[in-house]
Amino acid sequence: MKVLITGASSGIGRSLVFEFCREEGNVVLGVGRNEESLKKIKSEFTGCFEYVKADLSDVKNVDYVVQAAKNLLGNVDVLINNAGFGIYKEVVNHSVEEVLNLTMVNFVTPIALIIKALPLMRSGSTVVNVITAGVHVLMSKLPIYGASKAALHYATEALRNELSKQGINVISVYPGYISTEFHTRAGVKEPQKGASPDEVAKAIIKALKKRKKRVYVPAYVNLARVFGPHLVKI
């Protein structure tokens, strides 16, 4: 399989690279800003992993990423929009620039990447959008992050219907609390212990093979979909 993964330099994205490169014949193009980390992954998976350094808070970089995918992969069997970040702040404490960056990385760029990469995707291929189970609850500590992911969730539902006509499957991934750098980067000093990023990566690979539409990791966070709007505030 030819795979394009954003946010490949750490957490869930890095675990995904490991999973794909474990299987012979897969070629992965990873996107991120942290070149040191991307270089390290490349040295571990020579022949399977290549990377392109790009800041996805600037939507103009999408063309550059798609061109790199065209050059290296030719076609894309799996596009995984995984890059994302949050900021633990109330709405009123955000700067306008933070709101713009969160919206760009978590919503605008993933959609732009799908639009621009679509000509490289054939029937039978898959788009995976990593969202958050938090879209089903009120994330009062991460409200703008939650809003940007809710936008991605909404667009992904529409996209699934649109792309099914071309034989492209669309998977929405809803992780719960996962132990990655996400939380310290978002401003939490002492993050809780959550599920592992490997668990999320494995669930995504399984969903790809079974052509599933929605994945919750851990599985119980699926309950947020039913009870979240009534009960939960995190």
Ligand X SMILES: NC(=O)c1ccc[n+]([C@@H]2O[C@H](COP(=O)([O-])OP(=O)(O)OC[C@H]3O[C@@H](n4cnc5c(N)ncnc54)[C@H](OP(=O)(O)O)[C@@H]3O)[C@@H](O)[C@H]2O)c1
Q: Would you count residue 12 as binding ligand X (CB under 6 A)?
A: yes
Window contacting ligand X (CB under 6 A); options: 32-40, 114-122, 153-161, 206-214: 32-40
Sequence-distant (6+) residues with CB within 8 A of 229 are 136, 137
Residues 187-216 binding ligand X (CB under 6 A) are 194, 197
Residue 102 touching ligand X (CB under 6 A): no
State the DSSP string of 183-197: HHHTT-SSPPP-B-H
* CB-CB contact of 200 with 180 (8 Å): no
Residues forming a β-bridge with 217: 175
Q: Closest Cα to residue 34, out of 149, 220, 202, 185? A: 185
CA distance 38 to 26: 17
**Residue 228 contacts ligand X per CB under 6 A:** no
- Nearer to ligand X by Cβ, of 126 and 180: the residue is 180
Is residue 177 part of the contact set for ligand X (CB under 6 A)? yes
Residue pair 204/171 in contact (Cβ under 8 Å)? The answer is yes
Among 20, 26, 57, 203, binds ligand X (CB under 6 A): 57
Smallest distance from the beta carbon of 207 to ligand X, in angstroms? 15
Q: Give min distance, CB of 104 to ligand X, in A.
A: 8
Residues that bind ligand X (CB under 6 A): 7, 9-13, 32-34, 55-57, 82-85, 105, 130, 132, 175, 177-178, 180-182, 185, 194, 197
